């Protein structure tokens, strides 16, 4: 039994040549290209999908094959035209794209005379249409980074971040203004006996400390190298010191200064300033004002009954007021104006009119500073009765306003509100409102930050698909 030999098919690609004999390589009969190509040319051209060579069709041409075909054209034109031999005809089947594929077809040599050889040496163009060439398309530049699936990628995160920055700027501005207000003090200075008092509103760099030497408006008008300030310690009075020495300022944030050579009788409006300190401060200055008229204080008895502060008949103020009523007051003696806070018993004691917690004013809530550090319920109850006598303790209400107290202390506006004393600006309700507003701003910043983080996470998850 004889085996029929299958005739091999040459590769139909134009540039398929072997390096040894110059003939095209053997094509695979099952190749899906038209005409069938070898494995290398099929993968290079990739005109159609080929299941044999595992090739996917490409939408663009390789410019390397075009350049190589153009380079071989001059060499073929310079070569002598063969007299007789196989004619080359283009493939009549048009392809979708790609260069012209030329298939050699074996034809018998024509029987012509040698005289006609030169005349017929000019190549004859076949009327069969050539394969239509698709114009070369410039390759698109590839990107080295990932492209988002949407044009609005991370837009929500950008908007949330901008809102977060705006709210943070507002909060920083509020804190800066609060810091300026906290470090601003009212300074009253008497430079000479004939001149009236001078009032200044000065800002310091350290909270609770005032240094006169840091302010030229004060030191430039001093006659000497010393200055006297009114000290509100256990025994109130004037203390001399150098201008570069710091002065501790109480919660009322008022500082009284005078030249060292002046006396109390030379200071115009001293009684009003001392009464104002008594109203804003936590201790009574009635003892010092009585020393302006009486050199010795023999006996004073303070009794708190109801809402009034009663003094005995031997008190210097009582004798002064009786002398004023009898019309024997010296005209050189300045009149003393007792403030309402003195008559209601402002001797660092909680007034009996407060029957429940919290108290009405911030200055009356300052004793909380001795209780907020306690954790035991028994210790809290014991200290509460000491600092807030006669007021029943409700532990839930205490912890609620204890949080407001600590928040205001951390923020720095506790002493500011306490400095207003028993006035409309020093109400405890003002402090709670300010704390709630600050908590709301911080909560808003936290929500914006969480929203931005969540949006950014969702965007990353979407882009990963």
DSSP string for residues in 211-272: -GGG-HHHHTT-SSS-EEEEE-SSS-EEEEE-TTS-EE--TT-EEEEE-TT--GGG-TTHHH
Which helix (H) or strand (E) is 418 found in, with range?
A: helix 414-418
Identify the helix (H) or strand (E) that includes residue 190. Answer: strand 184-190
Name the pLDDT band for 404 (thresholds 50, 70, 90).
very high
Q: Taking 50 as the threshold, does the pLDDT of residue 428 lie above it?
A: yes
Over the Cα atoms of the chain, what is R_g?
A: 52
Confidence band, pLDDT 50/70/90 cuts, at residue 193: confident
Q: Which stretch of DSSP H or E encloses residue 189?
A: strand 184-190
Which pLDDT score, from 0 to 100, does residue 286 have? 43
Could you tell me if 23 and 17 are in contact, meaning their C-beta atoms sit under 8 angstroms apart? Answer: yes
Of 100, 99, 108, nearest in space to 64 by CA: 99
Closest to 398 measured CA to CA, from 376, 372, 417, 378: 372
Give the pLDDT mean for 123-136: 47
pTM score of the predicted model: 0.34
- Extract the runs of DSSP E, i.e. beta strands, from 15-171: 88-90, 102-104
Q: Average pLDDT over the chain, rounded to whole?
A: 69
Question: What percentage of the chain exceeds 90 in pLDDT?
Answer: 3
What's the CA gap between 215 and 183, in Å, rounded? 14
- Res. 420: pLDDT tops 60: yes
Among the residue ranges 126-135, 299-308, 408-417, the one predicted with the least confidence is: 299-308
Specify the residue for token string 């002046």. 262
Average pLDDT rounded to a whole number, residues 382-398: 87
Q: Identify the DSSP state of 160.
A: H
Chain position carrying tokens 């009574």 = 284
Query: Are 45 and 100 a contacting pair, CB within 8 Å?
Result: no
pLDDT of residue 77: 45
Number of residues written out for the chain: 465
- Pair 449, 164: CB distance under 8 Å: yes
* Beta-bridge mates of residue 247: 210
């Amino acid at each position: 039994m004889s085996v029929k030999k299958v005739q091999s098919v040459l590769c139909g690609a134009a540039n398929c040549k072997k390096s040894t004999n110059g003939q095209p390589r053997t094509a695979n009969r099952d190749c899906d290209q038209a005409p069938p190509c070898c494995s290398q040319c099929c993968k290079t051209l990739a005109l159609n999908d080929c299941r044999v060579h595992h090739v996917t069709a490409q939408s663009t041409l390789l410019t390397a094959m075009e350049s190589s075909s153009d380079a071989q054209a001059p060499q073929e034109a310079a070569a002598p035209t063969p007299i007789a031999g196989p004619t080359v005809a283009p493939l009549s089947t048009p392809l979708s794209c790609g260069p012209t594929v030329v298939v050699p077809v074996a034809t018998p040599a024509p029987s012509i005379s040698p005289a006609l050889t030169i005349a017929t040496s000019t190549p004859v163009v076949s009327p069969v249409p050539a394969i239509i060439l698709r114009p070369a398309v410039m390759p698109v530049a590839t990107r080295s980074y990932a492209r988002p699936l949407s044009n609005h990628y991370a837009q929500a995160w950008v908007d949330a971040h901008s809102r977060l920055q705006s709210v943070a700027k507002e909060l920083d501005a509020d804190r800066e203004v609060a810091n300026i207000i906290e470090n601003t003090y009212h300074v009253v200075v008497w430079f000479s006996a004939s001149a009236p008092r001078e009032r200044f509103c000065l800002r310091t760099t350290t909270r609770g400390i005032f240094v006169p030497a840091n302010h030229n408006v004060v030191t430039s008008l001093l006659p000497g190298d010393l200055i006297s300030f009114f000290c509100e310690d256990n025994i109130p009075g004037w203390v001399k010191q150098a201008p570069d020495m710091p002065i501790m300022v109480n919660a009322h944030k008022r500082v009284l200064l005078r030249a060292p050579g002046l006396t109390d009788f030379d200071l115009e409006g001293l009684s009003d300033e001392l009464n104002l300190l008594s109203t804003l401060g936590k201790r009574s200055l009635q003892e010092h004002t009585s020393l302006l008229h009486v050199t010795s204080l023999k006996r004073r008895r303070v009794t708190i009954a109801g809402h009034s502060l009663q003094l005995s008949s031997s008190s210097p103020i009582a004798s002064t007021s009786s002398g004023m009523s009898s019309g024997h007051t010296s005209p050189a003696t300045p009149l003393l104006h007792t403030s309402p806070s003195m008559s209601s018993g402002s001797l660092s004691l909680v007034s009996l009119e407060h029957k429940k917690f919290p108290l009405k004013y911030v200055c009356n809530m300052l004793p909380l500073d001795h209780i907020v550090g306690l954790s035991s319920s028994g210790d809290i109850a014991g200290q509460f009765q000491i600092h807030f006598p006669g007021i029943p303790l409700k532990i839930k209400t205490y912890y609620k306003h204890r949080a407001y107290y600590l928040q205001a202390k951390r923020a720095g506006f506790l002493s500011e509100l306490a400095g207003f004393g028993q006035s409309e600006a020093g109400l405890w309700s003002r402090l709670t409102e300010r704390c709630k507003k600050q908590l709301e701003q911080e909560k808003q910043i936290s929500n914006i930050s969480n929203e931005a983080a969540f949006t950014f996470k969702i965007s990353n998850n979407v882009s990963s698909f």
